[in-house]
Amino acid sequence: MPHLFQFGETIAGYDTPVLNEREVRAAAGILFFCALVAFMHAWLQGNFHYTQVFVIAFLIDFSIRVFVNPRYAPSMILGRFAVRNQQPEWAGAPQKRFAWAIGFTLAVIMFYLIVLNNVIGPINLIVCGTCLILMFFESAFGICLACLIYNALPNRRAAHCPGGVCEVKQHHESLRLNRVHALIVVAFLSIIAWVEMRTLPEAAPKAATTSPDCIPPDWAVAMGHSEIWKLHNGCK
């Protein structure tokens, strides 16, 4: 039975506490999806209600992760359930705690700005965008960007990294990239760009900005998105 206040699991063969990287990535993916939904509601509709709800949930989740025990964080519980039939991949806990401390700091900033003071502006987009990038890289690629900062600190060196990236080793032949791979990617992107240009619809006639339907709402003006709002609503 694990202790209530504990960070990481003690596993035989590992000299530091560790966390199940599969569970961590699953939890990051769950939070990324929820954050993206809330972000798009704010960006496209000017509805910050879901953003405020997510910020509170995010702050609670990371408070439990950092100050209590990751085992009891709601997103980690859901992630553990999602990967319960997969073989654990143990990764060092110290670097994760540092990374999650950064996430907790961002959560506090968002809570102060969005929930307590209802601030609307570029700072929100920067903080939310940073969180989305960190969670996307964690969930999609298994890359902990904040852990790179951890490694750059004096007397700090991550151990037991996901995929064994901390150890110096020769890449397997199947992982090597060459010019053929680069040409395939370039050709693929070129085809997609050509298709996009060929299927681009002709611009529809735009309404005059003097029309009552082209007056940006207060929330768009407050966010500095007047021109974007006009563009989305077919106004000059």
- Residue 150 near residue 99 (C-beta atoms within 8 A): yes
Per-residue confidence (pLDDT) for residue 155, from 0 to 100: 78
Q: What does the block give as tokens for 39?
A: 């972000």
Per-residue confidence (pLDDT) for residue 149, from 0 to 100: 83
pLDDT in tens, the chain (236 residues): 567 888 888 888 888 889 999 999 999 999 999 999 998 888 877 788 889 999 999 999 999 999 999 999 999 999 999 999 999 999 888 889 999 999 999 999 999 988 898 877 778 778 888 889 999 999 998 888 888 888 878 877 777 777 766 665 666 677 788 899 999 999 999 999 999 888 876 655 555 556 667 888 887 777 777 777 777 666 76
In the block, residue with structure tokens 């760009």: 193
In angstroms and rounded to an integer, the radius of gyration of the C-alpha atoms of the chain is 22
Per-residue confidence (pLDDT) for residue 197, from 0 to 100: 87
41-68: b or e for each residue (b if 16 or more CB lie within 10 Å)?
Answer: bbeeebebebbbebbebbbebbebbbee
